[in-house]
Amino acid sequence: MLNFITPIMDTKEYSEIKISEIEPILKINLRGKSRDFITKIGKELSIITPVDPNTSSSNEKLSLLWLSPDEWFLYSNDKIHIKNENFLEDKLFKEISKVKLGSVTNVSDHWIMINLTGTKVYELLSTGCPFNFNNFKNSKGAVVQTLINHIDVIIHNKNVNDLNLFVRRSFSEHLWSWMNDSARFI
């Protein structure tokens, strides 16, 4: 993790919506196809690797999101201490990348995590998103990769009206501005 200065570092509150950027969070992209790879991730992280589409699994410290049949996104539930952060990446790299089971890429500086809470979060997202949230909002742990205002995002349904949204750093300021602007009118 290069520890770039995050572009947002802010929290905004509107009527029944709270939007805040949560940083620093560890984020690791995992790619692999073999059954051994899936088993290894589960063993190393003490998490059951989600193999069903649009699902996730979590333990006390980490959440693992399904992105595609051969791709997963791992992130820490809480803020990390930058000094200790490399431990997990090194461990996964040693056990997965080095033995050529799959690939482990630290994407902590690539993605920005924005937490959205409140009863009107889905109304906010629906103003610029083609995805139908009807089933999603009732499925705790559901994951979706979609577009919001033409920007690629990953959304993790953490709890009822409590979402973590991941957006690429280069688009994060634009999305942040758009979300704040839209939230004012809901």
Partner 1 sequence: MFLINCPYCGERDQSEFSSGGEAHIVRPKQPTELSDDQWAEYLFMRKNIKGVQFERWNHTHGCRKWFNVVRDTSNDIIHAVYKMGEKPPVK
β-bridge pairing 162-168 and 111-117: antiparallel
**The binder of partner 1 chosen from 69, 83, 84, 185 (CB under 8 A):** 69
Angle at 50 between CA 109 and CA 46, to 5 degrees: 75
Q: Does residue 54 belong to the site contacting partner 1 (CB under 8 A)?
A: yes
Q: Does residue 68 belong to the site contacting partner 1 (CB under 8 A)?
A: yes
Residues in contact with partner 1, counted by CB under 8 A, come to a total of 13
SS3 62: strand
Closest approach, Cβ 129 to partner 1, in A, equals 9
Q: Are 30 and 92 in contact (CB under 8 A)?
A: yes
Instruction: Tell me which residue has tokens 């980490």.
Output: 62
Q: Does residue 171 belong to the site contacting partner 1 (CB under 8 A)?
A: no
Q: Does residue 52 belong to the site contacting partner 1 (CB under 8 A)?
A: no
Site string for partner 1, 101-140 (x = CB under 8 A): -----------------------------xxx--------
DSSP letters spanning 16-51: TEEEEE--S--EEEEE--SHHHHHHHHHHHTSPPP-
Q: Are 156 and 150 in contact (CB under 8 A)?
A: no
Closest approach, Cβ 54 to partner 1, in A, equals 6
**The binder of partner 1 chosen from 6, 29, 146, 161 (CB under 8 A):** 146
Give residues in contact with partner 1 (CB under 8 A). Answer: 53-54, 67-69, 71, 130-132, 145-147, 152
